[in-house]
Amino acid sequence: MQEMIRQLKAAWLSLSLKQRISLGASALMTAAAVIALVWWAKQPTWSILYTGLDPKEAQQIVQTLQARKVPLRLSEGGQTIEVPAERVDRLRIELAAQNLPTSGRFGFMSMFEQETLAQSNEMQRIRYQKALEDELAQTIEALDEVRSARVHLVLPGDRVFIDDKDIAKASVTLALAGGTAPSAQQVQAIAHIVAGAVPELSPENVAVVDTSGRVLWDGGGDGGGLVAARQIEMQSAVERDINAKVARVLEPILGPDGFVVRTTAILDFQRIKRHERQYDPDSGVLVSEQKRKEKTRRGAAGARGVPGTGSNLPGGAGGAAAGESEQSDSVDQTSNFEYSVVEKTVEEPQGRIRRLSVAVLVNEKPSSDGDGATTEPRSEEELARIEELVKAAISFDEERGDQVTVEQAPFVPKPKVEPSRRFAPRKWLPLVKYPALVVALLLVFLLFYRPMVATVREALREAARAAAPAPAEGSASLEAPLQIGPPSRVEILRQSFHKAALEEPEGMAQTLRVWLHESKGQD
């Protein structure tokens, strides 16, 4: 051991300053690379345990994990907690057993667990309201677009008189996930969920806003902003549906890239309710009939005047004219008929199509020479046939004012873009971690360790040559490689022959001649 240390010291002293610096730098870099690789290999693969936590809740989880001596890492301002990937599932189960994370929610279960006998009615009412708010918030957070939610309720109190009417109200604040906005139907669903869970609460008394201050539901459901958004969404849906219908018709004959279709739909959002009553005059049925006949008879009146001859003679002055007779007949008939009646209450839905305008741009067909690089226009008959197909697909109505335009033009060919293959380091890191460590160690061995060992060996050889006595003149120079550690039997024999050759070269030469002569005689 001392001999090896002496040789290493001699080799170090025999090196120049530049060689010493290079050797020291190589040794330090090799040690640093090995330490870094070992440290990197021992680092765990991190995976998200929980995200979107509030500071108070994150503090509780961090304290629990630190008490269990679980390595963790915080990100996104403390809202995300990462732990080693192999312990994620077990930690979630263990934390769930401790009601973590609670998302700061009170909930009905906690209300029952913390109930005491000394609570007043007012305290129970407040705890019930808080539990109801938290339960509604958890239900709303089930939506993918909602990261967190807060619900505030104003519940009507006990009434002394029937005429005292307190209106229940609610407000909902949403923290949206990833900046996405929920659709109008989802916002309406949130308002109805809250209204359905609270007695005497209507959707008109629910307000929904997001954390940026935008009003998503103004309480009325018919507010200008929300209605306009729903109308635009409905119009876009109709246009997409018509575009899809036209595309399904044209793709088999033109190909998926052989045309472009765009639709503009004008919808009627007026709400019309109409009552109609129609009678059929030919379907009358006699139900009842009443007749009344009346006849009047009046006879001649008797002689009147002064009794005597004069009044009874014709033309006598004292006589009165005889009265005329009177006769009348009348018939009064009443007939009751019933007719078939059709009563209709027609309520036309909002969003009726008032007019459609469809534009179709068709690519010119490839030329007949077959090279595929040039195109030629399509015939008018072919364009007319395409127009008829489009009209049939959209239920074209000329009285409604629909318009279909079909034009052709050469399309610019699309550049071929190779699909990008995204590399997911988190997914592949556990698989390449240890192979990469082996490759890195191999590179360290080839680039640093081998040159360093070669330099040390060369320095030791130079030191050995300088320390060995010079051979006698005419003797063979037998240079032996440097041997570190206890010499072998062959090395001992070689050193003995070398020493004998240096001390008694003539005797050694005579011995070699005898060995050679005996070897030839045996052959």
Both 217 and 227 in a single domain? Answer: no
Q: Which of 174-178, 210-214, 361-365 has the highest mean pLDDT?
A: 361-365
One-letter amino acid for residue 488 of the chain: S
The reported pLDDT for the residue numbered 38 is 74
Q: Flag whether pLDDT at 521 surpasses 70.
A: no
| pLDDT value of position 47 | 82
For the ranges 28-37, 264-273, 483-492, the lowest mean pLDDT is seen at 483-492
Query: Looking at residue 283, what DSSP letter applies?
Result: G
Q: Residue 477 falls within a domain, yes or no?
A: no
User: pLDDT value at position 251?
Assistant: 93
Confidence check: pLDDT of 496 > 60:
yes
Predicted pLDDT of residue 431: 63
Q: How many CB atoms lie within 10 A of CB 358?
A: 25
CA distance 109 to 131: 9
Higher pLDDT among residues 195 and 478, named by residue: 195
The pair of structure tokens assigned to 151 is 């619900």
Matching residue, tokens 């989880």: 61
Same domain, 273 and 405: yes
The per-residue pLDDT for 475 is: 45
Is 439 a domain residue? no
Q: What CATH number corresponds to the domain at position 183?
A: 3.30.300.30
Which CATH number does the domain housing residue 72 bear? Answer: 3.30.70.1530
* Cβ atoms 501, 475 nearer than 8 A: yes
Q: What is the pLDDT of residue 486?
A: 53
The tokens of 458 are what?
A: 């060369």
Q: What is the distance in angstroms between the CA of the first residue and the CA of the last residue of the chain?
A: 46
> Given CA atoms 345, 239, 237, 217 in this order, what sign does their dihedral have?
negative
Residue-wise pLDDT tens digits, 429-449: 566 666 776 777 777 667 666
What is residue 449's DSSP assignment? I
494 inside domain: no
94 and 10 fall within a common domain:
no
Stretch (H or E) spanning 125: helix 121-140
Give dist(CA 521, CA 499) in Å, integer.
28
Q: How confident is the model at residue 386 (pLDDT cuts 50, 70, 90)?
A: very high
366 preceded by a cis bond (ω within 30 of 0) = no
Is residue 20's pLDDT more than 90?
no
Same domain, 53 and 183: no
Contact 109, 142 (CB under 8 A): no
Query: Residue 502 domain-assigned?
Result: no
Average pLDDT over residues 133-144: 86
385 shares a domain with 238 = yes
- DSSP β-ladder status, 146-154 and 169-176: antiparallel
Note the pLDDT of residue 472. Answer: 47
Higher pLDDT, 292 or 40: 292
* Same domain as 243, residue 153: no
Same domain as 69, residue 193: no
pLDDT at 482: 47
Same domain, 141 and 211: yes
Q: Are residues 129 and 188 in the same domain?
A: yes
Band the pLDDT of 405: cuts 50, 70, 90: very high
- Considering Cα of 225, then 231, then 237, then 243, what sign does the dihedral take? negative
> Could you tell me which of 172, 264, 252, 175 has the C-alpha nearest to residue 218?
172
* DSSP letters for 226-260: HHHHHHHHHHHHHHHHHHHHHHHHHHHHH-TTSEE
Span 327-333, mean pLDDT? Answer: 76
Confidence of residue 488 (pLDDT cuts 50, 70, 90): low
Residue 147 counted as domain residue: yes
Between the CA of residue 485 and those of 1, 462, 474, what are the distances in Å?
7, 18, 32
Phi and psi torsions of 298, nearest 5° = -130, 120
Q: What is the mean pLDDT of residues 356-370?
A: 85
Residues 262 and 342 in one domain: yes
> Whole-angstrom Cα distance, residue 85 to residue 48?
8
Higher pLDDT, 16 or 86: 86
Provide the pLDDT confidence category of residue 403 given band limits of 50, 70 and 90. very high
Share of the chain above pLDDT 90, in %: 14
Taking only the tens place, the pLDDT of each residue in 275-310 is: 888 877 777 777 788 878 777 776 555 555 555 555
Q: What is the mean pLDDT of residues 317-335?
A: 64
Return the pLDDT at 312: 57
Of residues 48 and 7, the one with the higher pLDDT is 48
- 53 Cβ contact partners less than 8 Å away, ≥ 6 residues apart: 61, 78, 79, 80, 81, 101, 103
Residue 288 structure tokens: 């009842």
Whole domain around residue 135: which residue ranges? 121-158+165-221
- Please state the domain count of the chain: 4
Q: What is the mean pLDDT of residues 504-514?
A: 73
The DSSP call for residue 15 is: S
**pLDDT number for residue 366:** 82
Listed ranges 44-53, 141-150, 299-308; the one with the highest mean pLDDT: 141-150
For residues 373 and 355, what is the distance between their CA atoms, to the nearest angstrom? 40
Rounded to an integer, what distance in angstroms lies between the CA atom of residue 372 and that of residue 366? Answer: 6
Report the pLDDT value the prediction gives residue 273, as an integer from 0 to 100. 82
pTM over 0.85: no
Q: Mean pLDDT over residues 71-80, rounded?
A: 82
Dihedral (CA of 453, 454, 459, 462) sign: positive
Is residue 286 in some structural domain?
no
- Tell me how far apart the alpha carbons of residues 107 and 47 are, in angstroms, rounded to a whole number: 29
- The whole-chain average pLDDT of the chain stands at 75
Per-residue confidence band for 234, with pLDDT thresholds at 50, 70 and 90: confident
Which range (114-123, 166-175, 330-339, 471-480) has the least confidence? 471-480
pLDDT band at 233 (very low <50, low <70, confident <90, very high): confident
Which comes out higher in pLDDT, residue 132 or 372?
A: 132
Task: Indicate whether 480 pLDDT > 70.
Answer: no
Q: Among residues 38, 40, 80, which one has the least CA distance to residue 61?
A: 80
Tokens of 99: 């009601």
pLDDT at 247: 94
Query: Do both 228 and 260 map to the same domain?
Result: yes
Question: Average of pLDDT values for 136-152?
Answer: 86
Work out the angle between the directed axes of helices 121-140 and 184-197 (0-180°, nearest 10). Answer: 160
**Residue 240, pLDDT score:** 93
Cβ(498)–Cβ(478) under 8 Å?
yes
Specify whether 277 is located in the same domain as 251. yes
Give the separation between CA 302 and CA 254, rounded to whole angstroms: 113
Percent of the chain scored above 70 by pLDDT? 68
Distance from C-alpha of 332 to C-alpha of 290, rounded to nearest angstrom: 8
**Quick one: residue 99, left, alpha or beta (phi over 0 = left, psi -120 to 50 = alpha)?**
left
463 domain residue, yes or no: no
Any domain includes 349:
yes
Listed residue (111, 104, 110) closest to 175, CA to CA: 104
DSSP codes, 209-223: EETTS-EEE-SSS--
Query: Does residue 241 register a pLDDT over 90?
Result: yes
